[in-house]
DNA sequence: TGCACCGCTGGTCTTAAGACCTGCGTCGGA
DNA sequence: TCCGACGCAGGTCTTAAGACCAGCGGTGCA
């Protein structure tokens, strides 16, 4: 009778956490012992709930995934980094800090379950080719925004309110809100402030 | 019987506009014909209300003061730039674009009235020494934030919410809000997004 | 001693923001 | 024709944000 793998899901977006929980709960050998929305909560959960494997998003406001890894110092649970195309430049540093591997957030459920079992078994999820691919080239590609979303993001990055953007573009505020909601989801930002900072980092606007 | 000087006040902060109106209304030879909260409103007001002198803040989200000056192309009303210690690096470009002078926002009311009359009379408010002082040295000095305000601003610039900041600093959210309110006023930002962008530009955080 | 500044915190209130529901019309491609 | 993407816009609802009222205690300076 083997013990289930105790999992902690760490991501600042409830949608991502819920999505991961929804399919990880279907695996009989997984036990999701906690969720955390930021690094501090994650560290607390690691202390209290003693997960075997942490699914850790690196990009979180405040105490982020990298800080968690550094606080752990290679001790404790195995850490599987959740990343996305826009954030993969952080992965090498995370591996350096003790992560046992990484998966893309849009990985299919079976592959994710397999990745969890692999790191739990003490292996790492690193192939030299994959690491080289990650480290080659310049900044990560920006996610695909529609032309209008890019335009709205550019104006957010100039500090405009939705109302101002609506006026500038000659559309309703409701329409702007829709674009904002959509672009936030695409770039993985929780709010406009993060979106503005993202835009600055990625040379938008 | 001479005509009053028709004034347009352009600043995105209602507090600033109200403050200016409060003391300019006391001058018998001034007639405040309009206010505007951003560059587009300003241009519309210039077309409709035909001010003689525009008191123009350069730093506004969206269509800013510089854009207004460029759109005017040196035609139309005399423009007196409202600036603050943190924004004086924009003044030379504004003068280049046709502004007739500049005053600091914290100027005393009598001096402001005199400045308005001066530019209205066709003169400029530029002394070579003042311009040299503006253009010498590097980036403008940051306004004086308290240590705590700087700290909070740094965390805003990392995309944190008030709640997250409160947790990170070990204080109440109420306290964070107070610091935010105070620092927004000091740096002249209308909201946290603008504050974050300001911080990025000024190397805070 | 009085005052200003600082950090902390409570309260009330308004509103901008954002999530999530919906639907329409246009366009392009299978 | 159907479907997805896109842009536009309506609706409902929650809540984070921010303004502005207040107060406390500590510190430093005139």
Q: Which two tokens stand for residue A25?
A: 């709960």
More reliable by pLDDT, A166 or A116: A166
Residue B82 pLDDT exceeds 70: yes
Report the pLDDT value the prediction gives residue A135, as an integer from 0 to 100: 34
More reliable by pLDDT, B196 or A12: B196
On whether residue B177 sits in a domain, the answer given is yes
> B156 φ, ψ to 5°?
-60, -40
More reliable by pLDDT, A198 or B135: A198
Q: What is the CATH number of the domain that holds B194?
A: 1.10.10.10
On whether residue A94 sits in a domain, the answer given is yes
Q: Are residues A102 and A126 in the same domain?
A: yes
Residue B136 pLDDT exceeds 70: no
Residue B205 pLDDT exceeds 60: no
User: Residue A72 in contact with residue A125, Cβ under 8 Å?
Assistant: no
Q: Which residues of B touch A204 (CB under 8 A)?
A: none
On whether residue B141 sits in a domain, the answer given is no
Three-state SS letters, chain B:
CCCCEEEEEECCCHHHHHHHHHHHCCCCCEEEEEEECCHHHHHHHHHHHCCCEEEEECCCCCCCHHHHHHHHCCCCCEEEEEECHHHHHHHHHHHHCCCCEEEECCCCHHHHHHHHHHHHCCCCECCHHHHHHHHCCCCCCCCCCCHHHHHHHHHHCCCCCHHHHHHHHCCCHHHHHHHHHHHHHHHCCCCHHHHHHHHHHCCCC
Q: Are residues A191 and A171 in the same domain?
A: yes
- Find the domain containing A152 and state its range: 147-201
CB atoms within 10 A of CB A95: 20
For the ranges A31-40, A56-65, A133-142, B12-21, which has the lowest average pLDDT?
Answer: A133-142
> Mean pLDDT over residues A173-190, rounded?
92
- Helix, strand, or coil (residue A52): coil
Q: Are residues A151 and A62 in the same domain?
A: no
Nearest to B193 among A38, A40, A192 (CB): A192
Q: Which of A135, A160, A191 is the last residue of a domain?
A: A135
Q: Are residues A163 and A126 in the same domain?
A: no
Contact across the interface for A193 and B159, Cβ inside 8 Å: yes
**Bases of chain D with protein Cβ within 7 A:** 5-11, 16-22
pLDDT category of residue A17 using cuts at 50, 70 and 90: confident
Q: How many domains does chain B have?
A: 2
**CB of residue B149 closer than 7 A to nucleic acid strand C?**
yes
What are B4-63's pLDDT values in tens digits?
Answer: 888 998 887 776 777 778 768 777 778 888 888 888 888 888 888 889 899 998 877 777
Q: Are residues A92 and A117 in the same domain?
A: yes
On whether residue B48 sits in a domain, the answer given is yes
Residue A90 pLDDT exceeds 60: yes
**CB of residue B105 closer than 7 A to nucleic acid strand C?**
no
Q: Which two tokens stand for residue A106?
A: 């849009």
pLDDT category of residue B68 using cuts at 50, 70 and 90: confident
Average confidence score pLDDT of chain B: 77
Interface check B173 vs A, CB under 8 A: no
Spatial distance between the Cα atoms of A164 and A88, rounded to a whole number of angstroms: 34
Q: Are residues A42 and A90 in the same domain?
A: yes
For the ranges B71-75, B172-176, B201-205, which has the lowest average pLDDT?
Answer: B201-205
Q: Are residues A100 and A182 in the same domain?
A: no
On whether residue B61 sits in a domain, the answer given is yes
Residue B87 pLDDT exceeds 70: no
What are B93-127's pLDDT values in tens digits?
Answer: 777 677 887 776 656 666 677 778 777 777 666 53
Report the pLDDT value the prediction gives residue A171, as an integer from 0 to 100: 92
**CB of residue B88 closer than 7 A to nucleic acid strand D?**
no
On whether residue B29 sits in a domain, the answer given is yes
Interface check B200 vs A, CB under 8 A: yes
Q: Which residues of A touch B189 (CB under 8 A)?
A: 159
Among A155, A193, A200, A201, the residue to mutate for chain B (most B Cβ within 10 A): A193
Q: Are residues A190 and A112 in the same domain?
A: no
Report the pLDDT value the prediction gives residue B107, as an integer from 0 to 100: 62
User: Residue B167 in contact with residue A37, Cβ under 8 Å?
Assistant: no
Query: Taking each helix axis from N to C terminus, what angle separates A173-187 and A162-169, rounded to the nearest 10 degrees?
Result: 110
C1' (D3) to CA (B8) span, angstroms: 54
Nearest CA to CA, how far is A189 from chain B (Å)? Answer: 9
Spatial distance between the Cα atoms of A197 and B63, rounded to a whole number of angstroms: 20
Q: What is the CATH number of the domain that holds A44?
A: 3.40.50.2300
More reliable by pLDDT, B200 or A14: B200
b/e map of A111-130 (b: 16 or more CB within 10 Å)?
ebbebbebbbeeeebeeeee
> Mean pLDDT over residues A144-166, rounded?
89
Spatial distance between the Cα atoms of B88 and B100, rounded to a whole number of angstroms: 15
Nearest to A153 by CA among A113, A108, A193, A120: A193
Residue A175 pLDDT exceeds 90: yes
- Helix, strand, or coil (residue A8): strand
For the ranges A56-65, A69-78, A95-104, B131-140, which has the lowest average pLDDT?
Answer: B131-140
Q: Can you name the residues that pair with B7 across neighbouring β-strands? A: B32, B53
- What is the ipTM score, two decimals? 0.53
On whether residue A140 sits in a domain, the answer given is no
Q: Are residues A63 and A116 in the same domain?
A: yes
* Percent of all residues in chain B with a pLDDT value above 70, rounded to a whole number: 77
Q: Are residues B127 and B155 in the same domain?
A: no
Q: Are residues A106 and A165 in the same domain?
A: no
Residue A127 pLDDT exceeds 60: no
**CB of residue A157 closer than 7 A to nucleic acid strand C?**
no
Q: Are residues B25 and B118 in the same domain?
A: yes
Report the pLDDT value the prediction gives residue B130, as an integer from 0 to 100: 37
Please, what sign has the CA dihedral across residues B25, B31, B33, B37?
negative
Residue A146 pLDDT exceeds 80: yes
Q: Which of B104, B135, B166 is the last residue of a domain?
A: B135
- Protein chain B, residues 125-144, with a C-beta closer than 7 Å to any atom of nucleic acid strand C: 144
Report the pLDDT value the prediction gives residue B176, as an integer from 0 to 100: 96
Which of A40-49, A178-187, B196-205 is the most confident on average?
Answer: A178-187
On whether residue A184 sits in a domain, the answer given is yes
Query: Taking each helix axis from N to C terminus, what angle separates A147-156 and A173-187, rounded to the nearest 10 degrees?
Result: 90
Report the pLDDT value the prediction gives residue A142, as an integer from 0 to 100: 46
Spatial distance between the Cα atoms of B35 and B48, rounded to a whole number of angstroms: 12
Residues shown for chain A: 205
Report the pLDDT value the prediction gives residue B106, as an integer from 0 to 100: 58
């Amino acid at each position: 009778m083997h013990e289930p793998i105790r999992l902690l899901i760490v991501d600042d977006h409830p949608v991502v956490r819920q999505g991961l929980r929804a399919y990880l709960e279907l695996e009989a050998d997984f036990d999701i012992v906690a969720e955390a929305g930021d690094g501090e909560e994650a560290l607390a959960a690691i202390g209290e709930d003693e997960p075997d494997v942490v699914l850790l998003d690196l990009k979180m406001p405040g105490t982020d995934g990298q800080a968690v890894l550094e606080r752990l110092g290679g001790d404790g649970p195995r850490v599987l980094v959740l990343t996305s195309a826009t954030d993969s430049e952080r992965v090498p540093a995370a591996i350096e800090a003790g992560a046992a591997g990484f998966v893309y957030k849009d990985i299919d459920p079976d592959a994710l379950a397999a990745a969890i079992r692999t790191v739990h078994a003490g292996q790492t999820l690193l192939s030299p080719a994959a690491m080289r691919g990650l480290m080659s080239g310049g900044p990560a590609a920006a996610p695909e925004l529609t032309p209008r979303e890019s335009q709205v993001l550019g104006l957010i990055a100039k500090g405009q309110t939705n109302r101002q953007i609506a006026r500038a573009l000659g559309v309703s505020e409701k329409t702007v809100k829709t674009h904002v909601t959509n672009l936030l989801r695409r770039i993985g930002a929780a709010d406009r402030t993060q979106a503005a900072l993202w835009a600055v980092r990625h040379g938008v606007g």
